[in-house]
Structure 1
């Protein structure tokens, strides 16, 4: 069992599964020994309460049916993913991030079901409502669509931690994510497989690279100025951590997405546009993922040297250096958290589903056009 502590900010050594004392078996095609050995996983000590509270929040906001929450919520491991990433975050910040993350997965499932069941009007209404709720979350807390109301609730909480300038940046980044999901909707509806470079650019948006990076700042308790965030050393470390996560997700999702006639996966783009076999595409994905890990280790050192250089003898310089070190440390944590999440979560256990194209934890009828 995981050791628990009541003292916030300490790190809880984590076994790689929240329900068993041993690590899950990782298929050889997905195994990354460097992550298992050089990127030890830890969990925020608030994780046990986080799991309970997010499960309760999903029920209260009606984001998943009660039977689905009871049967699948814990096994989907959404809270484990966030608790392994934003270490050192105040409990309230981590709770807001975890609820938002759970919402994001539910939104992703709704988007998928709207495509599968041919509901473009439902998707259009949702897309426009999310754009509006992002600008005025308080006015949408009681929206008739639980997905919009839940989004408003989570965004309003996230907006309470840092200044308005951070809120505006988060909103700008998420508006772009919504539009990227709309482009994916059109591509999937029309059967268009984007080219490799087009896909890589779009994936940075559909995976919400800059959203998860933005959330490092409230976790560190400090908004980073543009000169710090856009510093090449900091930005490269942030990008590599997110690219690893997105591409490893593509590798693990490939069977599920082929079964579901998906068109948005780096492996699928490589097969269609580079003429690769499935085996060659998997090998290329693994090569790119491995390069992310290797290059991150170099970028991490440069980002930490950048943090050291921020200490100029002033209180502000010290504050920024501490915040950057926290953010870069958590970028490293993202590697192990993402890796183990994909082997713990029921989201990727396609072979155990009755229908490989229909996840058992989704509600096909939610707010859709019957």
Structure 2
């Protein structure tokens, strides 16, 4: 049985009435203090990313037609990177859509025991990240799609930012490999190990790097690594990862998943399902309160910077960290990715084509 009632789809894009959010998932502080906004480019963003998914053969045409808009991948990015130039937001949104498709391929490789296929894909993704131009026409659409999106992202900021982004994403690919092995072995990682790994599989520092692309400049190390700025960035991402675990818990229990904070709490801390849900909620709410403190501290830090352009970039990044809370929250109640109770098979997403999710 689910730990909470099924979600009710609603629309918040135009400021209209929203449907009910299940009590265990409801966060009144988000609804009251983190207003939802969308980048004005969003309608074109949705259309262009849908076209990109088709052009790059990342989803079959029938799946794109039926599910792409309802999955709300572009909504998530359009609610996050406000102020980004249209071309930057488009590249980020396409990369984000690619990331979700990759996540689904990874999942299907695990479910169907395709260890060799995953190892080959992992190696190719590392190669495409380092040499995207050489992989634009790779026979596997997933490899070519990464090459295309990364090559575009590499064009906005200096080579030092590109190298950092690549380093961070290499770590994400390797973390997905560790998750692959845990799931194949049905190994539930202890809570501390899981939390460290989750920061990588959720790509905390990738989405944070992209804040700089949206702001239009690379931040100096002394600014980016400042305790307040880094804490605010981390808390915004921790909120997203933990709230995702809370919303995904029924789907992942149905799919015999082992990578979820709630499942680690049940297996290693002896919590019941209901207690696990409460602990997840406690951590989620704590991350919001801690972010509000870090946000104030980061504003004070920014106000003390002598360079106005860097100050404006820091405040732009900080504002978008705040936007991440509402964007993630509403995404989980709008996207068909989490409407498990409407699926014919609760362990198999309807937007995934199993026949096409192996090696291409």
The answer on whether the counterparts of 1:16 and 1:41 sit within 8 Å (CA) in structure 2 is no
SS across alignment from 1:42? coil
1:318 counterpart residue number: 308
RMSD of Structure 2 on Structure 1 (CA): 1.2
2:68 counterpart residue number: 73
* Higher RCO (CA-CA < 8 Å; seq separation 6+): 2
1:262-301 matches, cutoff 5 A? 262-301=257-296
TM superposition shift of 1:266: 0.1
1:219 aligns to 2:209 (yes or no): no
1:159 counterpart residue number: 154
The answer on whether the counterparts of 1:247 and 1:285 sit within 8 Å (CA) in structure 2 is yes
Structure 2 length normalisation: TM-score?
0.96
Which ranges of structure 1 fall in alignment gaps of 5 or more residues? Answer: 1-14
1:342 counterpart residue number: 332
Distance 2:70 2:59 in 1: 14
User: Using a 3 Å threshold, how does the CA distance of structure 1 residues 284 and 367 change in structure 2: closer, same or farther?
Assistant: closer
Which ranges of structure 2 fall in alignment gaps of 5 or more residues? Answer: 1-9
The answer on whether the counterparts of 2:156 and 2:213 sit within 8 Å (CA) in structure 1 is yes
User: Using a 3 Å threshold, how does the CA distance of structure 1 residues 121 and 358 change in structure 2: closer, same or farther?
Assistant: same
1:173-202 Cα deviation digits (max 9, x unpaired): 000000000000000000000000000000
SS across alignment from 2:230? helix
Distance 1:346 1:284 in 2: 25
User: Using a 3 Å threshold, how does the CA distance of structure 1 residues 204 and 362 change in structure 2: closer, same or farther?
Assistant: same
TM superposition shift of 1:17: 3.4
Distance 1:308 1:17 in 2: 33
1:3-14 matches, cutoff 5 A? none
TM superposition shift of 1:225: 1.2
TM superposition shift of 1:366: 2.1
The answer on whether the counterparts of 1:122 and 1:367 sit within 8 Å (CA) in structure 2 is no
SS across alignment from 2:100? helix
1:1-370 matches, cutoff 5 A? 16-18=11-13, 21-310=16-305, 312=306, 317-368=307-358
Distance 1:256 1:19 in 2: 29
Distance 1:338 1:261 in 2: 24
The answer on whether the counterparts of 2:109 and 2:357 sit within 8 Å (CA) in structure 1 is no
SS across alignment from 2:83? coil
SS across alignment from 1:74? helix
Q: When the two structures are aligned, how many residues end up with a matched partner?
A: 351
Distance 1:24 1:141 in 2: 42
TM superposition shift of 1:25: 1.8
Distance 2:268 2:89 in 1: 40
Distance 1:21 1:297 in 2: 27
